[in-house]
Amino acid sequence: MFCHLRPVRRLCLEKVSPRWFFCSRALSGAEAVNALRPFYFAVHPDFFGQHPREREVNETSLQRLSVYLETIQKPGFQSLKPTQLTFYVRETGQNASHGQGPFSAFGFRAVKFTLHTRDLLSTVLYILNSCSLSIEHVQSLNSSVHPPPPKEKRAPDRPIKWDKSYYAFTGFKDPGEGLEQVSKRETTLSSWLDNNGKHATKKLENSLPLRKELDRLKGELSHQLQLSDIRWQRSWGLAHRCSQLHSLGRLAQQNLETLKNAKDRSGISAVGHVMLGTMDVHHHWTKLFERLPSYFDLQRRLMLLEDQIGCLLGGIQVVYIEELQPVLTLEEYYSLLDVFYNRLSKTRIPFHPRSLSGLQMILSSDRYAPSLHELGHFNVPTLCDPASLQRFILSRAPQARENLKRKDELKVIENELIQASTKKFSLEKFYKEPSVSSKQMVDCCKRLLGQSLPYLQGMHLCVSHFYSVMQDGDLCIPWNWKDGEAVK
């Protein structure tokens, strides 16, 4: 069983504040959410289904942003560390003609910024500005309560910047010098663990009761409903997951026989998992489980369609790779296969039977040419020209077999290094994000094994693309972490 979480995120942002900000009231949490709607629309992970790495980066950054915003809304909070975030921002009507650089061919660009403000409004403004999104709606929100200050009291447009000789002569400290030194220093793994290890340990210890509760709930529900597993598409916290399982447990008490339709059977995602949207009320879940038997026939027809496509393409295997493809329902995936099969059957391009046996392909709705992935499978657009596809596959088949062989070898090495790292550092859990490749994980583990890192003992360590301490104490480190002396 696969619980598909539709994220509900409370987020906010910041940049150079307009003058009216200084006379405005404090922003409430609900108003911040409204102010950030253009931002959410531009970075929401569900819009990056065809780009798994970018989707994963946005999901994790949104979680970290949520923690930051919740922290600055707590009364009396004392300290707040700067938080560096990376988002892939889609081209929208607001940011199409502005920004930090051109959009990629896929219609998005990477935006990096560091949050360090201590109030909600300035954070919201900074985020919107960083993503080249309009702030006019935020201005109108505040001016309705407090009018802007008179123009005659305007402050200078920008601070005065003195020549360095002024500070040398007067002995005053150059305020920009410290910022320059900080920007030149590069975060290293050792220094980051020194600064964050104790904080992560405390969070992990506080999360232990919730971890036990989650394991108990999963075990009870899996046994009660005779499920093979319960898992989540998105990496939400333990409290959120426990709440979801409590809801599912209450539903099981009320409609046990209906929910047993999921027993040992596939559901309605492309890979055969039952997907439950966490924003749906119980009667939606109940209707879904009642309809499950009707999906079993569709799944059988889908598997037959995959086999038929494979036969037309020389025995190639049609696969669906969750980590690399958008989340599709069973109906959506069947529709893709059906369109592609009809195009192939009309053309009947000649492939020698079983000549491509052992190779793999995934179908995509994107309108671009076929390609060969580094993991060995072919990316095939549904509407590509069959004759061009034949030439491409035949010319790249030897390389595809090499890539598949290398992938299998890397996976073995990766598993061995994960076990060795887990044992050396006495890790409670060691894992990676789906967007981290086996090649990147192997490189990361090899360098980790050459380090002495006492802070890792008993920790949950995740290899990602950035540094972070998650809300339940998991440590995230980038796969290409640096160590040694800071850059001068």
Q: How confident is the model at residue 185 (pLDDT cuts 50, 70, 90)?
A: low
**Number of domains the chain contains:** 2
Q: Burial of 182 by CB count in 10 Å (0-12 exposed, 13-18 middle, 19+ buried)?
A: exposed
Tens digits of per-residue pLDDT, 231-241?
A: 776 666 788 78
Of 65, 50, 5, 436, which is closest to residue 234 (Cα–Cα)? 5
Q: What is the pLDDT of residue 421?
A: 96
> Which residue has better confidence, 147 or 239?
239
Tens digits of per-residue pLDDT, 118-127?
A: 788 888 888 9
Q: What is the pLDDT of residue 265?
A: 46
**Given the DSSP bridges, would you call strands 429-432 and 460-464 parallel, antiparallel or unpaired?**
parallel
The reply to whether 208 and 107 lie within a common domain is no
Q: What is the pLDDT of residue 287?
A: 74
Q: How confident is the model at residue 272 (pLDDT cuts 50, 70, 90)?
A: low
- Tokens representing 421 are 């790292």
Whether the pLDDT of residue 33 is over 90: the answer is no
Q: How confident is the model at residue 317 (pLDDT cuts 50, 70, 90)?
A: very high
Within a domain: 159 = no
Q: What is the pLDDT of residue 434?
A: 80
The reply to whether 34 and 119 lie within a common domain is yes
Whether the pLDDT of residue 190 is over 70: the answer is yes
The arithmetic mean of pLDDT across residues 175-204, rounded, is: 74
Within a domain: 105 = yes
Q: What is the pLDDT of residue 436?
A: 86
CA distances from residue 299 to 49, 121, 229, 258, 291 in whole angstroms, order as listed: 22, 50, 20, 20, 13
> Which residue has better confidence, 393 or 244?
393
> Which residue has better confidence, 63 or 481?
481
Whether the pLDDT of residue 279 is over 70: the answer is no
The reply to whether 130 and 209 lie within a common domain is no
Q: How confident is the model at residue 167 (pLDDT cuts 50, 70, 90)?
A: low
Whether the pLDDT of residue 461 is over 80: the answer is yes
Sequence-separated (6 or more) residues with CB below 8 Å from residue 417? 441, 442, 445, 446, 449
Average predicted confidence (pLDDT) for the chain: 77
Taking CA 123 as the corner, what is the angle to CA 42 and CA 31, rounded to the nearest 5 degrees?
A: 75
Tokens 């020194």, residue located: 194
Reduce the DSSP state of residue 100 to 3 states and report it: coil
How far apart CA 427 and CA 474 sit, in angstroms, is: 11
The arithmetic mean of pLDDT across residues 434-444, rounded, is: 89
User: Range with the lowest mean pLDDT among 264-278, 334-348, 463-477?
Assistant: 264-278
Within a domain: 65 = yes
Q: What is the pLDDT of residue 16?
A: 35
Reduce the DSSP state of residue 471 to 3 states and report it: coil
How far apart CA 258 and CA 294 sit, in angstroms, is: 13
> Which residue has better confidence, 196 or 275?
196
Residue 186: what residue type? Answer: E
The arithmetic mean of pLDDT across residues 74-103, rounded, is: 68
Q: Burial of 164 by CB count in 10 Å (0-12 exposed, 13-18 middle, 19+ buried)?
A: exposed
How far apart CA 204 and CA 194 sit, in angstroms, is: 16
Within a domain: 378 = no
Tokens 């994960």, residue located: 418
CA distances from residue 366 to 56, 91, 96 in whole angstroms, order as listed: 19, 17, 21
Of 341, 270, 346, which is closest to residue 307 (Cα–Cα)? 341
- In this structure, the number of other CB atoms found within 10 A of the CB of residue 153 comes to 8
Whether the pLDDT of residue 103 is over 80: the answer is no
**Given the DSSP bridges, would you call strands 468-469 and 460-464 parallel, antiparallel or unpaired?**
unpaired
User: Range with the lowest mean pLDDT among 83-87, 105-109, 404-408?
Assistant: 105-109
How far apart CA 14 and CA 122 sit, in angstroms, is: 5
The reply to whether 45 and 127 lie within a common domain is yes
Q: What is the pLDDT of residue 65?
A: 87
Whether the pLDDT of residue 399 is over 80: the answer is yes
User: Range with the lowest mean pLDDT among 59-73, 223-237, 414-428, 463-477?
Assistant: 223-237
The reply to whether 56 and 123 lie within a common domain is yes
Percentage of the chain exceeding pLDDT 90:
25
The reply to whether 126 and 195 lie within a common domain is no
Q: What is the pLDDT of residue 462?
A: 92
Whether the pLDDT of residue 280 is over 50: the answer is yes
At 318, give phi and psi (nearest 5°). Answer: -85, 120
Whether the pLDDT of residue 170 is over 90: the answer is no
How far apart CA 310 and CA 361 sit, in angstroms, is: 9
Whether the pLDDT of residue 162 is over 70: the answer is no
Domain, as residue range, for 219: 189-224+398-487
Within a domain: 37 = yes
Q: What is the pLDDT of residue 297?
A: 82
> Which residue has better confidence, 271 or 429?
429
Within a domain: 248 = no
> Which residue has better confidence, 284 or 299?
299
Q: What is the pLDDT of residue 298?
A: 84
Task: Specify the pTM.
Answer: 0.59
- In this structure, the number of other CB atoms found within 10 A of the CB of residue 287 comes to 11
Of 249, 274, 251, 276, which is closest to residue 263 (Cα–Cα)? 274
Percentage of the chain exceeding pLDDT 70:
72
Within a domain: 291 = no
CA distances from residue 77 to 12, 189, 374 in whole angstroms, order as listed: 17, 27, 47
The reply to whether 45 and 130 lie within a common domain is yes
How far apart CA 479 and CA 443 sit, in angstroms, is: 8
How far apart CA 136 and CA 13 sit, in angstroms, is: 14
> Which residue has better confidence, 351 or 342?
342
Within a domain: 113 = yes
Q: How confident is the model at residue 95 (pLDDT cuts 50, 70, 90)?
A: low
The arithmetic mean of pLDDT across residues 369-389, rounded, is: 89
The arithmetic mean of pLDDT across residues 305-315, rounded, is: 92
